[in-house]
A = this chain, B = another copy of it.
């Protein structure tokens, strides 16, 4: 595990609890010390960690922020030339580009566990973070099927279920359900604060929940949203269209138009989203990656690799 933030730290704990052999690198000494005190094998020495990974044929999980990925891929290509590489970074297109740029595409399988809290860092990590969470394991037309299975098994061992998706579909989806929520939460917080103490003092559940993720560190919000700027822009433009429509309705006749009906129907659909097990695809068969992605688009998930044909 490269990087022991909330996600990386929780992954280390969850994989260890599942009985897997785990070791980690982290840049800051405090987290290294804290993790060691709990009995984990953690180093501040990146080269030694990558050499250890290569020697033990480990899966390398990259858990550093996007801006640090290029340097990390550079080191991996030099010091761990055989290992399977995955990651927990929240954008997959830019990661895939970076992997290709560094000649790592044939052993890279993108990953994204859809879990988190408002906290960050090793101190906030816990092994149950991924329990029953969705974990995207990216399948591209050139993904190695054996490595895909290995990465999927890691996600399953951590308690998650696997959602297959290619990088482009992933990025468009998370723009809607993760990055746009951040933009709207920040915007709502700003609009509330402009009402000064009276407005903030009257704020109850709708404002509290609607601004919750604005409590995340601005640096983390930027690191999550900005590498996905193109897809986020598309989702934001759709939201702006909706808001302009309701603005016009409020101005013209003092009503919300059909916004509340459509929003309520959408929320109900979210609450009742069905995750159907994918069973009729064999990883490695002709067109397996496209078939998995198509099944994922229809709400399919993998809860066990044995269930796949």
Contact = CB atoms under 8 A, between A and B. Distances in A.
Interface of A: 114-117, 133-134, 136, 163, 165, 169-170, 172-174, 176-178, 180-219, 221-222, 225-226, 229-230, 232-233, 235-240, 242-244, 246-247, 250-251, 254-256, 259-271, 273-275, 296-299, 301
B185 A263 contact: yes
Nearest to A115: B204
Given A184-B188, A188-B184, A191-B235, A202 B136 contact: yes
Nearest to A183: B246
Contacts of A205: 116-117, 212-213
Number of copies: 2
Contacts of A268: 215
A172 B191 contact: no
Given A177-B203, A180-B191, A214-B266, 6 more contacts: A114-B204, A209-B213, A214-B267, A222-B256, A237-B247, A243-B243
Nearest to A213: B206
Contact of A194 (B238, B244, B301): B238
Contacts of A174: 199, 202
A-B residue pairs, 8 tightest by C-beta? A186-B263, A197-B299, A193-B266, A218-B260, A189-B266, A229-B254, A214-B267, A181-B206
Contact of A216 (B117, B250, B264): B264
B202 A163 contact: yes
Contact of A256 (B173, B183, B207): B183
10 contacts: A136-B202, A183-B243, A190-B266, A191-B239, A192-B270, A210-B213, A214-B266, A215-B267, A225-B256, A225-B260
A283 to B, nearest CB: 19
B270 A193 contact: yes
Given A169-B198, A226-B255, A251-B233, A204 B178 contact: yes
Majority secondary structure, A binding face: helix
A252 to B, nearest CB: 10
Nearest to A262: B190
A193 to B, nearest CB: 4
A165 B199 CA distance: 11
B266 A133 contact: no
A207 B222 contact: no
B301 A201 contact: yes
A125 to B, nearest CB: 16
Nearest to A182: B206
A275 to B, nearest CB: 6
Contacts of A254: 226, 229-230
A309 to B, nearest CB: 21
Contacts of A165: 198
